[in-house]
Structures are given as structure tokens and as C-alpha cells.
Amino acid sequence: MTRVADRFTNGFDAEVVRAWIADDPDPQTAISLEHILAEAESGDEAAVADLEDRFSGPLVFGTAGLRGEIAAGPNRMNRAVVIRAAAGLAAFLADTVGEGFEVVIGCDARYKSAEFAADTAAVITAAGGVAIQLPEQLPTPLLAYALLKRGADAGVMVTASHNPPADNGYKVYLGQRPLQAIGSEADAEAGAGAQIVSPADALIAEKISAVESVASVSRAESGWEHLDESIVEDYLSRIDDLGVRAESDLSIVLTSLHGVGAGVAEAALTRTGFTSLQPVASQQAPDPDFPTVSFPNPEEAGALDESFALAREVGAELIIANDPDADRFSAAIPDATAAVGYRQLSGDEVGLLLVEDAATRLEAGTHHASGADAPVFANSIVSSRALAAAAASHGYAAVNTLTGFKWISRVAGLVFGYEEALGYCVDPAAVRDKDGISAAVTFAALASRLKAAGSSIEAELDRIRNRDGYFATAPLSFRLDDVSLIATAMAKLRENPPATLAGSPVAEVHDLSAGYEGLPPTDGILLLSESNSRVIVRPSGTEPKLKCYLEVVAEPSEIQAAADADARAAASAGVRLPTASASASLKPALTERLNSISTELKAFLAL
């Protein structure tokens, strides 16, 4: 079998394109490449540049699997690329596990997701494996749950999560047997059910690169297993077993942002006692075009506008938003001072509330992990240091990991983990990944419990901050068409980092590529000022972005001092201040400090 090249080696090469077209199993992408090739051969420079990009090399398979624009060519997401990836995964599993290896396969509702999932099942079956397909259009946490539930050797989720509509992706998880074959028993136990990390990614990538052509890959026409909806019922029953339930009537607005989480999320909330649910109708049905949002990501400005409008209309007490594959969760609460009437909580605020909730219930013996030996809390290094402070207040251990749940979920003894990008794992024994549905149910239960006790989410944040200090965070991202600018910015930071952060001298500079506090090397820079302000800068692993994570800290004494100063100023002016949280008095100063650091970084990076 002649190898079909997956890249140009000496500039534009029409024969390489023709060979790829002949090997493409999808007429749609084959025809599109034929048109571009014809334009390139007629002298169209833009078409030549397009092909040079598409054939710059294969889409890189790494710890995030595959992710990219749906289009023709080796550097895009398409059936040819997916079949090669499935063949590489199958070869890796055949080597490490042997014939009869099991792979669970799920997909979201994006363009080509169902075809990519079916191609994967066909390849796995023909390679001597057992392919197990989930019902179509289910959330990513269902795939992670099914992998552990079945004790399978691998899982594949076809999704691009919250990426733009033009993208799709291929997420790979491994079970215990292949991990045992390539590592230690401890590594296998810690990583079973989680997304891949090194060396598994490199080993699978080697097998993918060894695939000569799509034509050389056998594909079965049938013979794989189809799971029925009982897997969803099993997952919902597991959420029931968490023991979190509505303790007061709570009006909730719910959106899935045109993704696949609506049905499962509504069912999970309803069966745990939440009956006042108001879905955002225009965003509940899966739609791969994501017509009402610029980016289908709850973090993006404007993503929750329709939720805010409905919440104002019905007087909702909580807004719950999932991203399109429902592995992320965001919350918003009423706020009379906000222009839209609601305040979206940051990922760090939700993470802090959930760690406090878990620690409190562990102490009370009402948490599902009560009785576990040495419970541990974890978050990614770019997330707030408030988690460690809260865990310590309850006498529990906390650890930092590299960014991504492939690392967080591997922490031994984990009972709760989160990352600031709206990812939370409240039940690592069942879903060793972020899960926006079980997290949403747990958060709603907390909100209802606080309401029943005459408190609120805002008051609970205030209570924790008065005890541990106020850790205020803010993101700063640069989306760049020219990705070379990301490497240039990182080099600039390494060679000549900023000397101050908001007027405080930078006391420590750590290049994370050399490792940091026991963490494996990663591309990033950490700056720490004398006032304990912290900045971490890193390239995004899934998008063309440079991401900056800002954090400033105030001690409990500073919070009280600011509240006392506000009270004295009000008394001197003869006015009566409305009842407010103590930490609210310090928020403007911390926000100003964050804004100052953001402005300094923008000027320094000049992006």
C-alpha cells in the first residue's frame, strides 16, 4: 500500500493534494479540495496559501486529542483525519491490552460529530476491539461516566466543547488496563477514566503517524454495540446518590447554549427537587450553528444575555448555564447594582463556594465521600489560591496541578477539584473529569440550603472571605490570528519580565517550563509581587489565545478595616449606608488593583 503523504515537504505540491483527495472517504471534503486545487493550479495565490496551510502537517494529536476547523486536508478535522486517529488508537490498544479491547464512543451535536463517532466504531470493530456507542447527542460527562461504569479500556468523545461553530474535536480517555501496560499500578489507578496525558498521547500519536492511508484502514459495516437510554438513567441515579437536594423553593433559569446538555440537566435538577425551572427556549435545542451567541462559551461576553432577559422576566433567583457539551457550568445571581440585574460569578467564586460546601458536608458526615481516608481538594495552578485557604480552614489538604482536568482528576484522594475556566468535579469516583451537570445540581442545592437558612450566595462568599481573606481574580486573554505572536510574547516575558505589578515590586519570577513546586514542566510564566499579587501567563492549549490569570489578595484585617472606614465616612456625612457585606467595601480597591495590572500587561505585551 502506497503511503499517502500528510504534508508538503517542499512547498505546494499538487500531487500530494491529489493523492489525499483520492484517499478521502468523504465526497464532500474531496470535492472541496478539488476546487481549491484547481484554483491553485490556475495561479490563485490565496488558494496556494490555503493548501499550504492545510498540508503544513497533520492536525497534532496531544493530551487534548484533536481539535480544529471542520474542513478538508490533514491539518483540519474531517473523516480522513478521524479514521487515521481511530486506527492509531486501536493499534495502541491492541498492543497494550490485546484483542477484545473495549472503547466507549460518544458525540455531541456539532457538524460531522455523528459521522466521526460512527467511523471510530467501524475502525475499532474491524481492528478486533469492542466498540460501544452511546446514544447520539449526549454530554461529555456521560462519556466519562460510561467509561468507568463499563470498565472500558478507552473512551472517545467527539466534541469541540465551547469552540466556535466551525470546529470539532476528538477527546480520548483511557481505562486502567492500557495505563497499567505503559506505567505503574499507581499511575493506572489514578488515571483510569481520565483524559490522556504523556506518554499515552505520544504513543498513540506514533501509531497514528504509522497509518499509511485511509484505504489501508479496515472498517466494519456493523457489529458494534449501541447503549440505550438506560446509561442516562444510571448517570442520573448517581447524581441522586450524591445526597444533594433542594431545601427550599428556588426559581432557576437554565440554558444549554444550543448544546446537548438541556435534557440531562433538567432531569437531574427535577429529580433532586428543583421544580421551578425556566429553560431559555431559544437556546435549549442542539444547534451546531449556535445562532444566538458569538461564541458558545459561558465565559464570553454576551453569552448569557438571553438568560439575563428571561431571569428578569420571571424573577429568577439563580441562572445556570452549561457550555455546549455540558462539561462546564456557570452561575449568575441577582444583583440590583448590575445593569442587567444579575451578576455572573467567576469560576473561582463558584469553585470557592463548592469547596466550602464539600468541606462543610464532609465534617458533618453528609457528603457522599464522608469516611474517605485523607480527603484532598485540588485546583489548577492558574486558579485561585482561595481553595487552599478554605481547605486549610477545615483541616484538609489541597494541591495545585497543571491546567486541565487530565491533571486535576489524577490527584490521589480527590473529593473535589476545579479550574477557573468553569470546570468542576464534584464526584471523581464516578466522573473523572469536569462535569457541568452534577456541579450545577450541587451548586443549586447549596443556594437552596443558604436560602432556607436565611442566607445567600453573596453572604456566604462574604463569610468565607472574612475568615480566609479576599482573593480577587480576573482573566485577561488575547485572541490572535497570528499565533507566532504568542511565542514572541512568551519569549519577551522570559527575557525581561515586568518589574512591578500595580506598584508592588515583583519579588519572584518562575518559568514554569522548568517545573514549579513539584509540577511537571509546562509553557508558562508566574510572577509574584511583594504584596502577594500573582500573574500567570500561558498559551491556551485549545485555542489561538494567550491567557493571563490575575489575582490580588487582601487579609481579613484589611476587609474589616475597609468596612469600618466606610462606616465612619457615612456617619461623618450623616448618611445611612444600606446593609452590605464587609468584603464589598474592599472590592473597589481590589478591582482597581486588578485593572491596573491588566493595563500594565496590555502595555507590556503590546498585542
The reported pLDDT for the residue numbered 373 is: 86
Mean pLDDT for the stretch of residues 246-253: 98
Helix (H, G, I), strand (E, B) or coil at 345: coil
Annotation marks residue 161 as catalytic: yes
The reported pLDDT for the residue numbered 585 is: 82
> If we measure between CA atoms, which residue out of 217, 231, 170, 225 comes closest to residue 196?
170
Residues 6+ apart with CB under 8 A from 231: 134, 135, 142, 145, 146, 149
Confidence of residue 569 (pLDDT cuts 50, 70, 90): low
The reported pLDDT for the residue numbered 572 is: 64
The reported pLDDT for the residue numbered 571 is: 61
Helix (H, G, I), strand (E, B) or coil at 233: helix
Residues 203-216: b if buried by 16+ CB within 10 A, e if exposed: bbbebbeebebbee
Mean pLDDT for the stretch of residues 264-285: 98
The reported pLDDT for the residue numbered 35 is: 98
pTM value is: 0.95
Provide the CB-side half-sphere exposure for 579 (13 A, CA).
3
Mean pLDDT for the stretch of residues 474-500: 93
Residues 6+ apart with CB under 8 A from 428: 409, 414, 415, 416, 417
Q: Which tens digit of pLDDT belongs to each residue from 72-113?
A: 999 999 999 999 999 999 999 999 999 999 999 999 999 999
Beta bridge partners of residue 527, listed in sequence order? 509, 535
Q: Answer for the pair 26, 10: CB distance below 8 angstroms, yes or no.
A: no
Q: Which tens digit of pLDDT belongs to each residue from 182-236?
A: 999 999 999 999 999 999 999 999 999 999 999 999 999 999 999 999 999 999 9
The reported pLDDT for the residue numbered 560 is: 77
Examine the pLDDT at 565 and tell me if it is beyond 80.
no
Confidence of residue 566 (pLDDT cuts 50, 70, 90): low
Pull the grid cell for residue 88: 492509531
Beta strands in 468-544 (DSSP E): 470-479, 500-501, 504-511, 525-529, 534-539
Provide the CB-side half-sphere exposure for 333 (13 A, CA).
17
Pull the grid cell for residue 340: 442587567
Mean pLDDT for the stretch of residues 304-311: 98
Mean pLDDT for the stretch of residues 429-438: 98
The reported pLDDT for the residue numbered 221 is: 96
The reported pLDDT for the residue numbered 590 is: 95
Catalytic residue among 32, 42, 56, 161: 161
The reported pLDDT for the residue numbered 411 is: 96
Give dist(CA 43, CA 37) in Å, integer. Answer: 10
The reported pLDDT for the residue numbered 578 is: 52
Give dist(CA 396, CA 401) in Å, integer. Answer: 17
